Amino acid sequence: MKPIQIPGPIAGCMRWGTWGAGFSRADYRNMIDACLDAGITAFDHADIYGDYTTEAAFGEALRSAPFDRQKMQLISKCGIRMLTPNRPHHRIKSYDTSAEHIILSVENSLNNLATDYLDLLLIHRPDPLLQPDEVAAAVIKLQDAGKIRSFGVSNFLPAQMEMLAKSIPISFNQLECSLFERTAFHDGTIHYCMQHHIIPMAWAPLGGGLLTEESHPRFRAIMQCCEKLSNKYNTGINQLLLAWLHRHPSGIIPVVGTTKIERLVQAREAASISLEREDWFMLLEAAKGEEVA
């Protein structure tokens, strides 16, 4: 199956529900409509968000008024079994990438999200007990039934992607990536994605939203650099941080986990900023605290 196109930025929905803002049905609907009006059409979920409640709350908002499903892209993840009163049969937090669990998780997500298909299904975390052929069988069954349109992974390292890709094509890898968290640039993950035409999606692309002088040793230097470049590019700091990711040739798509439409609009604006090469390295140097070797 040909990989689908996921336009960025992606609206990360993890904090929309009980794990964050506690949106009402009206709040969900207003946020969804505001995103669509701003040209932000992709929404990122996982079955576990909100202790297995956020997908259903999002779906109830969709059911509350007509919408054009063809103009949206719905993403979900599965494979983590959480300890929560909503899953009393779970005895311990664990991973489960069995065919049975994947298929059941997708069926639940489809029902919760009020849709017949997911545009993209991701395996949420690498599972030490993952059987590549079993995952492939589940994915192919779901694709043949029209229940998922594309498949990928989340937080997978190169060797883990390579093992699974021998059984089923991988189109996306959602991983932590930002100016503040650059491990994926150095451990081979981004390079593997580029080599195998896997599109990286960056969660926490702004560093998690909790950056202060106390929480990050290079915070002041980074902010000073951003302020200087903000004047040059006539834009804001958040836009510059996302533009730094966009400048990378791997085609990174940011997943912006905010409850504020203004932040998502800023993220959309960032896609039109083309950082000059030396400015990209200026931000990198500010974050590293030293020039490149």
Tell me, yes or no, if 49 is annotated catalytic.
Answer: yes
Q: CA end-to-end span of the chain, whole Å?
A: 43
Beta bridge partner(s), residue 153: 123, 173
Catalytic choice (28, 49, 52, 192): 49
Amino acid at 233: Y
208: left (phi over 0), alpha (psi -120 to 50) or beta: left
CA distances from 60 to 23, 67, 120, 131 (A): 12, 12, 20, 35
Angle between helices 25-37 and 261-270 (to 10 degrees): 20
Element (H, E) at 49: helix 49-52
b/e map 117-155, b = 16+ CB within 10 Å = bbbbbbbbbbbeebeeebbbbbbeebbeeebbbbbbbbb
Catalytic residues: 49
